[in-house]
Amino acid sequence: MARAYIIPKSAHVALTTSVMFRGPRVTITEQLGPDVWPGVKTTLENLGAVYVIGTSGFEFEAGQDAQALVTDALATGRVWRVSASHGYVATPADLAEHVVSMYGEIGGKADGPLEVLEPSAGTGPLVAAIVRADLSDQARCAEIATWMRVTAVEVDERRARQIPSSPAVKVVRDRFEAWAARTQASGKRFDRIIMNPPFSVPGDAQLWAKHLLLAWNLLAPGGRMVAIVPACITEPGYGPSRAARAAVELLHTHGGYELLSPDEFDHAGVSVITAAVWFDRPLVDAPVPRMVADLPEYVARPYTGDEVPVQVPRLFLTRGASVTMPVQAWRDAWRGGTVRVLRHRGSCIVCERLVWAFDDGENDPRGALGDHAPELLDPAERAGMPEALPVVACFMCMNDSGGETYDRAWSAARRYWGSVVAARQSGWSEPARDHAAERAGLFAELVMAGAAEKSHGAARERARTAPAPVYVSGWTQDALLDLDGQ
């Protein structure tokens, strides 16, 4: 939410004595110290001016009277962000560098330049972080253009002018919504999309979600999208609009996130908790049938060994990948280019984190798998049930041997193995209904030894109407037309 920015005394003095006005332009006539300049810049930007990079000037929209706007603000001593009317909030340079370096995975491709999109570029802080160079250095940008091309979309002419065009960067002045519709229809797709979309505008508090869904439709198979968005996207069940619900589901299926500092945008007078989110689009769309379709997600996924792995340039560890490409072949540069086969094994029985494992058994969590490294709980070891399937846990939950999550994992695994025995003893062998009922919250009715047949029957009937999980693959432009006000 926007809040008033109190103009510092030093900035008040500078904007009174050290500026020259001409129509929509403000020129700083004296060199300002490091303790004064930030306050002056923030005041003018919150009024809606754009800093003209490389000069001492700021520019308001054409037709506006810069002197009148500044004088009125100084009279009150505070500024309400007028730039919120069109949703623009500048990305701090250090935040731009952080999200690009941590999650952007910018690098060359074997089959041509890496195509990168910044769909709400502003004055270009994310573009600069992507290119990792001074955008005015034409020689450097020409070298970069041999392996990467960046498309920067910005609707505001003043801000667009601040992004130097070069062989590596193409600046497009347009509304993202209109440009995205034409680009999607043309079939053009991008290997990376990195964005800080407008969060909201008057009349549309969920604009960020719509931009996210439009951008997802422009992501190439195997591509990655990174965005800075409100942290509400990380909250299961959040959904004041259809677009917001779809964005939450998209993150759950295809991505991950990092919660950012609450003061990331304090400089702009905006108080909002944000997250850096990333999304990976699988290389293939069609779901791969499971060898045993009815097992709970926390039971180790069995394979025949004859599966053909999908060749991947990097590991895909999302829920979407577990559905469409559960077996992957990856060339590990750290192991001399050895091709390693990776398999999805299930979801942790404690925290539901996805768990993957390499066929070679080298699953050190300090390596490529990180928190997704597996721990398989052996029923023969702790329950004396060699005929049962292992249960899946993640390294993080099993890392505190004898601790709370460690004990919860083994306790839950023993309950599941006991349910298998109880079901067999009762003569009821319907794995699909077992799973549907358990996922619908009916675990106790199905697994407790000695449960009455009446309970089994009631649970069985309720299981038939248990809702199926939803898999989100994308949104069309036509579908987005119905999102307003929903």
Per-residue pLDDT reduced to its tens digit, 129-156:
998 866 667 777 788 888 999 999 999 9
Least Cα distance to 216 among 441, 469, 418, 473 occurs for 473
Q: How far apart are CA 285 and CA 12, in angstroms?
A: 57
Q: How far apart are CA 154 and CA 197, in angstroms?
A: 11
Mean pLDDT, rounded, for 467-476: 34
| pLDDT at residue number 57 | 92
Given phi > 0 = left and psi -120 to 50 = alpha, else beta, which region is 54? Answer: left
Higher pLDDT: 45 or 277? It is 277
Query: How would DSSP label each residue in 301-337?
Result: PP--S---PEEESS---SHHHHHH-SEEEEEEGGGTT
Q: 332: exposed, middle or buried (C-beta count within 10 Å: 0-12, 13-18, 19+)?
A: middle
The predicted-structure confidence for 190-239, as pLDDT tens digits, reads as follows 999 999 999 988 888 899 999 999 999 999 999 999 999 999 999 988 88
Helix spans in 47-154 (H): 66-76, 93-103, 125-131, 138-144
Mean pLDDT of the chain: 83
Q: How far apart are CA 183 and CA 163, in angstroms?
A: 21
Contact call for residues 385 and 421 (beta carbons, < 8 A): yes
Mean pLDDT, rounded, for 434-453: 34
18 pLDDT higher than 70: yes
Q: How far apart are CA 197 and CA 377, in angstroms?
A: 43
Mean pLDDT, rounded, for 242-253: 95
Mean pLDDT, rounded, for 454-460: 37
Contacts for 361 with CB less than 8 Å, ≥ 6 apart: none
87 pLDDT higher than 80: no
469 pLDDT higher than 50: no
The predicted-structure confidence for 313-322, as pLDDT tens digits, reads as follows 999 999 999 9
Cα four-point dihedral sign 242, 244, 247, 253: negative
Question: Structural domains in the chain?
Answer: 5-80 (no CATH), 93-280 (3.40.50.150), 286-399 (no CATH)
pTM: 0.78
